[in-house]
Amino acid sequence: MKVIEHIANAKKPLISLEIIPPKRGGNILQIYKAIESILPYAPPFINVTSHSAEVMWEEMKDGTFRRIVKRKSPGTFGLCAAIKYKYNIDPVPHLLCAGFTREETEDALIELNYLGVENLLAIRGDIKYEKPIPDGRSVNRYALDLVKQITDMNNGKYLDDLIDVQPTDFCVGVAAYPEKHFESPNLAFDIDVLKKKQDAGAHYAICQMFFNNAHYYNYVQRARKAGITIPIIPGLKIITSKSQVMRLPKAFHIEIPEELVNAILNASSDKEAKEIGIQWAYKQAVDLLENGVNILHFYIMQNTETFLEVINRLKKDYSL
């Protein structure tokens, strides 16, 4: 089922998740264990991140270093297939511009279509390595370009002029940034980009994590005034340690409220800091639900412990 169908058909608030594949050589059983722990809450869909290649340095036996280019966490599509057919949950693979040609993207879309995957999240991705583009190949520079390519395939238009082609039928998600994308000059510009993604064929948007609901409400209000009608799903992250207070803003270009920062940094123990993060996420979720939001998206990566704590508390007050 498509993400927008899950939202439209929901009889109660929905909870969706985002996870990350194991690092190269990692154990897939850890991911399965995490997914199985949240099955009682019937998540309608699970997002699976993807990463482009990056430059790494490998130490050789003689003490020298060799420059290699590889992906740390391959396996997004395989994990999506497992989620769909092992757990009967709709997977949402992240499809990237960065590190892939349009030809490789078309191949990936064909594979996902054959797998029966109906949903995608089209994003540019972090540019960690500028891949040389072979002659005769092309790239999608921005998520908007990627959305256009997916929409073309949904309309039966492939890169080559093929005969008797079968159109795909993907539900296309895109990213939204309540505090604006760090490369956008202002929020109005950023919202205009989302409007262009919608006009190009995007069906819904998932927000970058935020810790102040006022950012989300303001963003949605301005987006609606700009003519954006697609669902805008809020994204929540549970802070579990003092170090995340410093790392998350740097990695995701977000603001953490002063009250939350002070409480966590002044916590007497890691356990207390984690509890503060759980309480904050719970209050955010309650506020969103009480203001008519019918779906919450949690960024959990591979650890479901704190997520389950938040959901168990919500379950006492809401029919999740």
118 is catalytic: no
The single residue of 5, 18, 111, 272 carrying the catalytic annotation is 18
Widest distance between CA atoms in the chain: 67
Encoded tokens for 195? 């409007």
Residues assigned a catalytic role:
18
